Structure 1
Amino acid sequence: MRKLLITASLALLLSACGSDDNTVDPVVVDPVVVDPVDPVDPVDPVDPVIASVTLDQANSVNLGVSSVDAGSYTISFTLTDDDKLAITDASSFEVMYLVMPKVNTASFSMPYHTSTKFSCDVDESDCTGTLVEVDTGSYTFTPSDKPVFDKDTQTLKVSLTVFGALAQTKPEIIVPEMG
């Protein structure tokens, strides 16, 4: 029986290999047609919305003086709250220009000086100087009269206070950059 099984297996194996034809019909593949892609139009960046709060809504007021113009004495500054939100709608203020000698010859901690004060609040109808919000939270103050100042012998210092319903800037005297 074993011989019969081996013989049948060989006969089956040999009958399957009897073909000498090794040609294969070529497979024709149609080329893939791709539609041209439209170029992507560039998107103009959008300025982020600047979060802000009005001066009367602010629980804190921080002042950042950028510069003082040497010709007009215009002060450029920003107002923000403790959360770094821009403060808008400022209208109540007090600005003092302090002119002090460069060399202190007095024995007092505050030497002889002159000051020019400008102010405006909700009760005043006649404000002195002009406060303009040039951008969200950015302001300029231009005095109505220029302080008398000699940059060779004197130092100009500025005190700027802005008042809101809930808070005001901290009182401080600033030696500004004269630009």
Structure 2
Amino acid sequence: QIEAGKTIYPNPKNIFKAFDKTPFDKVKVVILGQDPYHGPNQAQGFCFSVEKGQKLPPSLKNIYKELETSLGISPSNSGDLTAWTEKGVFLLNAILTVEAGKPASHSQIGWEKFTDSVIKTISDKKENIVFLLWGAFAQSKEYLIDKNKHFILKTSHPSPFSANRGFLGSNCFKETNEILEKIGKEKIDWKLDE
């Protein structure tokens, strides 16, 4: 598609950025998204995250609201979640690319087969991972996760269309840290630099 002159997001060098920033042996938490943002200068290779200096997408604003309500963390002006990835939060989109201006345009090209395998491998090879499954799409991947070895926290999606149906007020970030502390792992510092 790139050769045909189509614009694809994220930049090809960032397609596997989530894997580079959160190596397998460092994963403590998995947040599963659907596909990258489809606007210019937004997608950076992590679910829900946007490049520094970009306007905050509505879902990310709600993520920040939940962080403020449950943990007292003031919302960042930046939508760049890179700091989380460096603390063991694997920000995985099930579909890793998208054509500009066309959400879910790459949903049938095989990415899900690959990312389903990634989720299954994390489930099979690791223990005590906290999986945050926000919304019906993410929750449709629950069957890939061994519930006897891992923790699954489910809420509605942080999108403005559904955030009030469970995401806001879910305490999912606080609960994640309580789980990590209980099993002897270091809590995630969810605070982001400006």
Q: Please identify which structure carries the higher strand content.
A: 1
Tell me if both proteins adopt one fold, taking TM over 0.5 as the criterion: no
TM-score bracket, normalised by the shorter chain, equals under 0.3
Q: Please identify which structure carries the higher helix content.
A: 2
Larger Rg: 1
Q: TM-score, normalised by structure 1?
A: 0.25
